[in-house]
Amino acid sequence: QKEVEQDPGPLSVPEGAIVSLNCTYSNSAFQYFMWYRQYSRKGPELLMYTYSSGNKEDGRFTAQVDKSSKYISLFIRDSQPSDSATYLCAMRKTGANNLFFGTGTRLTVIP
| x-or-dash string of contact with other proteins, 22-61, rule CB under 8 A | ----------x---x----xxxxxx--x-x----------
Provide CB contacts within 8 A for 95, sequence distance 6+. none
Q: Round to the nearest angstrom and report the end-to-end CA distance of the chain.
A: 37
Give, as ranges, the residues between 4 and 23 that touch other proteins (CB under 8 A): 4, 6, 8
The candidate with the shortest Cα–Cα distance to 107, out of 90, 82, 89, is 82
Whichever of 102 and 107 has its CB closer to other proteins, that residue is 102
- What's the min distance (Å) between Cβ of 39 and other proteins? 11
Taking CB under 8 A as the criterion, the residue among 19, 25, 37, 102 binding other proteins is 102
Binding site for other proteins (CB under 8 A): 4, 6, 8, 32, 36, 41-46, 49, 51, 88, 90, 92, 97-99, 101-104
